[in-house]
Structure 1
Amino acid sequence: MAKYTPMIEQYLAIKAEVKDAFLFFRLGDFYEMFFEDAVLAARELEITLTGREGGMEERIPMCGVPYHSAENYIARLVEKGYKVAICEQVENPAEAKGVVRREIVRIVTPGTVMDARSLSETSNNYIAAVQSDAAGFALAACDISTGELYVTRLTGSFERLMDELNVYNPSELLGAAEVLERIQSGAGAMLRTAVMTVRSEESLAAAGLQPITAYFSDKQLAALPDGGREALSVLMGYLQETQKRSLSHIKHIRIYEPNQYMVMDPFTRRNLELVETVRDRTKKGSLLWLLDKTVTAMGGRLLKRWIEKPLMNASLIEERLEAVDRLYNQLMLRDDLRQSLKEVYDLERLTARIAYGSANARDLVALRASLEQVPRLRELCEGSGSATLKALAEGIDPCQDLMSWIADTIQDEPPVSVRDGGMIRAGVNARLDQLREASTNGKQWLAELERLERERTGIKSLKIGFNKVFGYFIEVTKSNLSMLEEGRYERKQTLANAERFVTPELKEKEALILEAQEGMIDLEYALFTELRDRLVGQLSRLQQLAERIATIDVYQSIAHVSAAQRYTRPTIGEFYGLEIEEGRHPVVEAVLEDGVFIANDTALTRESGSMLLITGPNMAGKSTYMRQVAMIGLMAQIGCFVPAKRAVVPIVDRIFTRIGAADDLIGGQSTFMVEMMDIQIMTEKATSRSLVIIDELGRGTSTGEGMAIAQAVIEFLHDNIGCKTLVSTHFHELAHLEESLRDLRNYCMAVKESGQNVTFLRKLIRGAADTSYGIYCAQIAGLPNSIIERSYELLNAFETRAELAQGHAESTAGKEAAATAVSRKPQAELVREAVESSPEASAPTALAPAAPEAAAGPAIQLSLFPAESPETDKSAKKTGKSDKVLEQLRHADLMNMTPMAAMNFLYELKKQLTNN
């Protein structure tokens, strides 16, 4: 019976260990893939699919990539969400008996990437593990490239877990199958890019991996919350299983309570565009883009974490504000800090690579250059006059001994590879110096030999060269071969235009030179690894230093932006009222090329009203205004100055936003359903300390139902929660709520009309709007004039019917009864009922668009009064004066009238009817 060759059998046995990963199988200078791996990899990487004999009749599918460029191909596969297992030869082929022994040395997954080219400098790459129980969830999240490790406990609903996961946005998520399925089904669009890997504590224990007690102290483990130990075990076990090397840089567990930070759901983060824009999902145009003037990679990552997790502790916020305040007023100090920070490399990731054993000599030179800046940074912070910066400086360990180790050992400009020599300084090791001298003398001897051979033979083009296959040789062009002395030269290699020879003395010297070079490279590598191992023992010092330098960088960045944009230090504390004087939207203001941003005041207090009902036209600035209120509050809680003349900001526990239309197509939810689900979360989770923002509440359904839902939601937030609330709506009919809700105030966006022109002033003013200018916005957008004219025609028809129906109700039921009905029922519902009950409601020409052939004819004018109404003046009908009024209305050019001309026209018509 046919069977596979021993090499293919070995491949299949190793592949069985990593069924969910591509197996990069080392064969000489290539990583090869076979069978299904080869077919899929060829398609994903766009490389050639070939085949090879494997012992069976059919050829085995095969593809491969060169080992020296494998990292690029691995990165491409990992970016697509795949895992890659790297299988290396672990014994010398020359000494192997049979098939060379091979083992998996590492598994690269989306959550365990270490290659700097695949990582964003200013973003973390988290892998997270979730453990669930009856009371809630435990979460452990780690960035293996920096060594950061966070553990927390999330009690309560599943949505709270989703909120926290979206803070980390992990590229890989570990947990039991049922938990991952629930997360995947409820993740919306936020976590769908995360790779879900099923892992449990039991499966990892069966693999014989080290327990977490091997990594963390008993004191750290004892402080873990319920379920935290299990989640951490799953995470660390998986990292051991995939990395198969030291994880000594993951040594400090950052345990935190979720209530230490403001909570924001994924939609709020997206709507406020904190770290990326909604449209392009890019950094430019986000709050992070505006505030990020950091000059170190670790500072950029820390700033992003601050924005994503605003503080809830007033004293900690004041510490940050105090440091920013000092730097805000000291331009020279800020510039000095920036100059020193520019010379600091990414200490967190450098430290991780040292621990990982993947740091090269250039990484150590970068570490030395970074440590050289620490004394200056410490001096600047101590002399800043800031108590916060001074305390930060006192905790800085300059690590000057580590800097000296590197400076005394490593050359200033070493090669990239640690296997090529040229890394270690002279005088570090006596044996190395001897070997270098031997190598140098040997090369001098070779240069002298080349000169002598040219003189002896008279061949000026003769040269002595070297390659790794044939060693040293004497090369002579074929046209000069006759000039060589017979018997002296031994042919070694034939080329197209030359021959290569050796001589007995060249052979003898070659052995000495190569022995010296090989010994020199091996000794240099040993000295380098010895230094790297010494640094591994100092990882904690380096990590703490990196954290403090990153904090300094964030402070100077926030101060730099605050000073450049004329921001103000906010007053923040544990009180209720929010007061902002001349507030501005930070990002919109920053990107304005022409013109000045129109500032607006805000007062959400017990005395002046904690709920604003904002009406007004489209494009007038309602959404921008509401966002800016949320942004100012959030910026204050991260310790940043705010875009306002004065700001008194209370600590907010949660921000909820419902802004913009968004279908969840993958989840099968319409825009209206998404809005209702968001509002359900608001009504369930909001407290009196929360800030709720709802834009265009009630849209997506019929007018009557939309207004009914809008009013009910407003009443619930007002009566049951009492949170600070901003609600915008086109239902200006809801303005009557100010009369019945104590804390609600009507506001609108100011509009200036001048003839046919409308100007949006972007100014929030007291009172309710009476129109939304939707047709005007459609006109600005460029809709055809025929659509605009027809829209105005239909709008006039709808409004006339509503007025007539309301007048009919008032005259039949009495003014007092009508007033009571209006106060109990939304006005839009009256409008709808009036239109439905009107005798002209069945006339198709009044409500339906005109047919094409009738478009050129005169528009059908609606009756001014309900037919057969008891209040109709029958004598007026007989005289025909009403018909005359109707005729004048039919021929009136309303579109081209000024507001004053229209008022005069209506006055004349009314006078004619009154005279009847």
Structure 2
Amino acid sequence: MPERIAMLDQYRRVKARYRDAILFFRLGDFYEMFFDDAIVASSLLNLTLTKRQGQPMCGIPYHAFKPYIARLLKAGKKVAICEQLTGPNSKGIIKRDVVEVVTPGTTIEEDFIDHEANNYLASICSLQGSLCIACLDVSTGEFRAYSTPDKRPSGIEFLRSELYRLSPRELIIQQSLYEGQEVTSIIHELENTLIEKRPDWSFDREKACENLKARFKVASLKGFGFADEAPELAAAGILLEYLDENAKASSPHIQALLPYDMSDFLSLDEATRRNLELVKNLSDSGRRDTLLSVLDRTKTAGGSRLLRQWLLQPLRSKEAIDTRLDAVEYLYRDQLLLNDLRRRLGAVLDSERLVARLAMDKAHAKDLLALSDSMRSSLAIVSLLHTDRAPPLFRSGLDKAVEEDCARAASIVAGAIMDEPSVLLTEGNLMAAGYNADLDRLRSVKQNSTKILEEYLEEEKRNSGIPTLRIRYNRIIGYYLEVSKGKLDAVPTHFIRRQSLVAPGFGLPAGFTEYPVANRVDQPGFFGN
């Protein structure tokens, strides 16, 4: 079978499993798209659409794919990334498979999400006489589920209000619920939300309950505030199923399912939130000229997201309001403390999302350093606020054991990672000098390879009495000593003859390991040119 035909056959087999996604098919240094995917992607990404043997295709460089994925996600598309799993020299066609499906609601890449707003994946269903809602922000680990009686029109208005508040990037909806005219009108009002319809049978409360208990390693969900019969568990369960289907990675940072007590907050319907322009303006649904834009002087991304939630969910309890105001007054009356606090907060990066990337194996060394620095700053903030005269809101925080664990972790990372590490793990230049003695020795060999080889050669010349000895390199056997035919009788007994060489040659002997290397390295380029 011709190579191109075999490749397209492979493409079709992979695409058949991901019909609802645009398939980025790795071909060498490019991600290629074919057929309908190429037509759609070329239009959305302003790429040149070409044809080969009548087949539409377009492509992007593999090293610059992130901006293109961001634009596709913004357009409400999914992207399946199909990588090469074997090398170009492998026998037969290169093996390829999808390693990740990037969707608007499951991505945790900082290039793809708004750092000032939660990135919710939500689900809704009607079950046991209740309208059920669950929301999951994979990038922070927030996971909630709740329900309200399925009474019309109050239930529908509640659903409209909640979907406006959450503004999910992606919504999984029960098929029969979607087919209802009232709900369909709500769905059409959502902006930049990818809709995923699922059959009614997939919203299985019993199955979801068992899966949730297994995931969180508990015998009952009562400790989280849910009875096993709670209908909203069906909505929560399908979110985790969807995440596992697409992310193809574990998500240990999602550690609990929390209820949402609506009685804690003032009830604001969708029209009120919209017309007050709390977080979106009426002109273009942007942030400009909103109450949030006026009030948001936060120093961290997490603080900006929290302020957004506070504006959309005003407190109802006087006690809770007073607790919050006591904290505000405390800082207002101590401007030196406030300024010091803001300065330290400015050094705290987006810890929630850093932890998520680490937990899902999506982080690089700079993320580790950022988390280490953020932990140090956070511990300093805890020390500032944990005083006897501080209000209750500031005195509730980390216990001593957790503080010590955080300080120890931050110290380990700071000592292990370079100040300016490489972004890619495969490039090296990650670990700091002094962290690992073996690594330090190997680096020294690489940096001083020419000197080491020259010193070794001079030593062998003296010991053997062969002044014409040379060190050569061969791709098959590595580095070796070359001896002229006239000096073969003077070769020391510890030299090992290499028969495959044209000129008489001898492998570097075992004594060479006395030089600062863990063992003999004969990889091309290790000792420089």
Shift, 1:444, TM fit: 5.2
Distance (Å, rounded) in 2 between the aligned partners of 1:425 and 1:514: 25
Which of 211, 224, 227 aligns to 2:226? It is 224
Check the 8 A contact 2:83/2:96 in 1, yes or no.
yes
Show the counterpart of 1:422.
429
Change beyond 3 A, Cα 1:4–1:345: closer
How far does residue 516 in structure 1 lie from its aligned partner after superposition? 8.6
What is the aligned counterpart of 1:93 among 88, 94, 101?
88
Q: 1:74 aligns with which of 69, 72, 78?
A: 69
Deviation for aligned residue 1:195: 1.3
Matched, 1:175 2:173: yes
Residues 686-697 of structure 1 mapped to structure 2, 5 A cutoff: none
Q: Map residues 862-881 of structure 1 onto 2, 5 A cutoff.
A: none
Equivalent pair of 1:204/1:237 in contact (CA under 8 Å): no
User: What is the distance in 2 between the residues matched to 1:18 and 1:150?
Assistant: 28
Residue 192 of structure 2 is matched in structure 1 by 193
SS in 2 for 1:211: helix
Q: Would you say the 8 A contact 1:83–1:107 is kept in 2? A: yes
Shift in Å at residue 3 of structure 1?
12
Q: Aligned-pair distance for 1:187?
A: 1.4
Q: 1:132 and 1:348, CA in 2 relative to 1: closer, same or farther beyond 3 A?
A: same
**What secondary structure is seen at the aligned counterpart in 2 of 1:310?**
coil
What residue in structure 2 maps to residue 439 of structure 1? 446
Written as runs of structure 1 = structure 2, the 5 A alignment for 1:322-721 is 322-383=326-387, 385-393=389-397, 395=399, 397-398=402-403, 399-442=406-449, 515=523
- Whole-angstrom CA distance in 2 between matches of 1:109 and 1:91: 26
Q: Report the Cα offset of residue 381 of structure 1.
A: 0.7
- 1:265 matched to 2:269? The reply is yes
Letter in 1 for 2:427: D
SS at match of 1:218: coil
Deviations 1:74-97 (A, max 9, x none): 111111111110111223333x33
* Counterpart contact for 1:130–1:174, Cα < 8 Å: yes
- 2:299 partner amino acid: V
Alpha-carbon deviation of 1:134?
4.8
Q: In the aligned structure 2, how far is the partner of 1:394 from the partner of 1:425?
A: 30
Unaligned runs of 5+ in 2: 456-503, 513-519
Q: How does 1:704-783 map to 2 (within 5 A)?
A: none
The residue matched to 1:273 in structure 2 has which SS? coil
- Matching of residues 53-72 of structure 1 within 5 Å: 58-72=53-67
- C-alpha distance in structure 1 between counterparts of 2:525 and 2:347, whole Å: 35
Against the structure 1 CA distance between its residues 154 and 174, is the aligned structure 2 distance closer, same or farther, given a 3 Å change threshold? same
2:137 counterpart of 1:139: no
Between the aligned partners of 1:232 and 1:189, the Cα distance in structure 2 is: 23
> Is the contact between residue 300 and residue 346 of structure 2 (CA under 8 Å) also seen in structure 1?
yes
C-alpha separation between the residues in 2 aligned to 1:447 and 1:393? 61
Aligned with 1:124 (options 115, 118, 125):
118
Q: Which AA in structure 1 matches 2:523? A: E
Whether the 8 Å CA contact 2:421–2:429 is kept in 1: the answer is yes
How far 1:514 moved relative to its partner? 7.3
CA distance in 2, matches of 1:514, 1:303: 58
Q: Which residue of 1 aligns with 2:475?
A: none
| Distance in structure 1 (CA, Å) of the matches to 2:322 and 2:216 | 33
CA contact (8 A) 1:436 1:517 kept: no
Instruction: State the distance in 1 between where 2:318 and 2:454 align.
Output: 74
- In the TM superposition, what is the alpha-carbon distance from 1:184 to its structure 2 partner? 5.3
Alignment of 1:725-874 (within 5 A): none
State whether residues 144 and 250 of structure 1, in contact with CA within 8 Å, keep that contact through their aligned partners in structure 2: yes
The 1-side partners of 2:234 and 2:389 are apart by 46
Shift in Å, 1:447: 11
- Residues 322 and 386 of structure 1 are in contact (CA less than 8 Å); yes or no, is this contact kept in structure 2? no
Q: 1:516 to 1:98 in 2, by over 3 A?
A: closer
In 1, distance between residues paired with 2:199 and 2:418?
47
Separation in 2 of the partners of 1:357 and 1:2?
38
Instruction: Flag the 1:73–1:433 CA change in 2: closer, same or farther, 3 A.
Output: same
CA contact (8 A) 1:26 1:87 kept: yes
Aligned residue type for 1:267:
A
Check conservation: 2:77, 2:103, Cα contact below 8 A: yes
| 2:104 equivalent among 89, 102, 110 | 110
CA distance in 2, matches of 1:125, 1:132: 24
Residue matched to 2:501: none
Other-structure match for 2:241: 237
**Number of the residue aligned with 1:32:** 32
| Percent identity over paired residues | 37
CA–CA distance in structure 2, aligned partners of residues 218 and 89 of structure 1: 39
Aligned residues of 2:80 and 2:102 also touching (Cα < 8 A) = yes
Describe the SS at the equivalent of 2:303.
helix
| Count of residues in correspondence between the two structures | 457
Change (3 A) 1:265 1:435: same
1:592-619 superposed Cα distances (whole Å, 9 cap, x missing partner): xxxxxxxxxxxxxxxxxxxxxxxxxxxx
1:259-309 per-position Cα deviation (integer Å, ceiling 9, x unaligned): 221121211111111112222433232211122111010011011111111
Q: Mark the CA change 1:188 to 1:84 in structure 2 (over 3 Å): closer, same or farther.
A: closer
Give the 3 Å change call, closer, same or farther, for CA 162–69 of structure 1 in structure 2. Answer: same
Deviation at 1:357, TM superposition (A): 0.6
Q: 2:309 aligns to what SS in structure 1? A: helix
Residue identity in the other structure for 1:224: F
Shift of 1:189: 6.5
Code of the aligned partner of 2:309 = R
Supply the AA of the counterpart residue of 1:114.
I
Look up the SS of the partner of 1:402 in the other structure: helix
Query: Deviations for 1:772-811, whole angstroms, at most 9, x for unmatched residues?
Result: xxxxxxxxxxxxxxxxxxxxxxxxxxxxxxxxxxxxxxxx
Structure 2: distance between partners of 1:318 and 1:288: 21
Could you tell me which residue of structure 2 aligns to residue 605 of structure 1?
none
Rate the CA distance shift 1:61–1:193 in 2: closer, same or farther, 3 A.
Answer: same
Deviation at 1:364, TM superposition (A): 0.7
Distance in 2 between residues matched to 1:334 and 1:200, nearest whole Å: 53
Mapping for residues 291-330 of structure 1, pairs under 5 Å:
291-330=295-334
Q: Distance in 2 between matches of 1:158 and 1:134?
A: 16
Q: 1:109-152, CA deviations, whole angstroms, 9 ceiling, x for partnerless residues?
A: 11122221222111111110112125221111011111111111
User: 1:203 deviation in Å?
Assistant: 4.9
1:163/1:263 contact within 8 Å kept: no
1:515 is aligned with what amino acid?
Q
Q: Given that residues 438 and 516 in structure 1 are in contact (C-alpha distance below 8 angstroms), is that contact kept between their aligned partners in structure 2?
A: no
Q: 1:421 to 1:443 in 2, by over 3 A?
A: farther
Distance in 2, matches of 1:120 and 1:447, equals 56
Q: Is the 8 A contact 1:204 1:238 kept in 2?
A: no
Corresponding residue SS for 2:32: strand
Render the CA deviation track for 1:193-236: whole Å, top value 9, x for unaligned: 3211012474599xx99933332243663433621221111110
8 Å Cα contact 2:32-2:59 kept in structure 1? yes
**Residues 274 and 287 of structure 1 are in contact (CA less than 8 Å); yes or no, is this contact kept in structure 2?**
yes
The change in CA–CA distance for 1:121 and 1:517 in structure 2 (over 3 A counts) is: farther
Is the Cα–Cα contact under 8 Å of residues 381 and 393 in structure 1 kept in the other structure?
A: no
Please state if 1:9 is matched with 2:4: no
Q: 2:286 matched to which residue of 1?
A: 282
Q: Give the 3 Å change call, closer, same or farther, for CA 120–192 of structure 1 in structure 2.
A: closer
